[in-house]
Amino acid sequence: MKAGLLRRLFRLARTPLAGYLVGLAFTYFSFAIPAQRLRETTTLVAFHHPQPSYPVHILIVAKKQLTDVTAVGEADVAFMQDLFMVTGSLVKELGLAPA
């Protein structure tokens, strides 16, 4: 029962409607998302993946809806700055930088 439900939810998660709803959740309700936040700025939130595939599996998600990396434009300078600052600080904090 549980495996079947998870399969259906993952299938649903890949639909355009689900992408839109997830985008809305991160844009307007990121405070309510139950995740272990590592960083949160006005433009993004970084948290541990709820079902990690790797020993260190972190998601960094824009609060603004972006369809893909090509959707980032000149108006997204603050997001890009936050992205690089947060990524760099997490790499150092978690000991992921090469020695």
- List, in order, residues 6 or more apart from 12 with CB less than 8 Å away: 18
45: left (phi over 0), alpha (psi -120 to 50) or beta: beta
Yes or no: say if 57 and 49 are a contact pair by the CB < 8 Å rule. Answer: yes
Say if pTM beats, i.e. exceeds, 0.75.
no
Residue type, 89: S
**pLDDT band at residue 91, thresholds of 50, 70 and 90?**
very high
pLDDT in tens, 9-58: 667 667 777 677 766 666 666 666 667 889 999 999 999 988 889 999 99
What does the longest C-alpha to C-alpha distance in the chain come to? 47
The residue among 61, 57, 58 whose CA lies nearest residue 82 is 61
Structural domains in the chain?
Answer: 2-93 (3.30.428.10)
Asked if pLDDT for residue 99 goes beyond 90, the answer is no
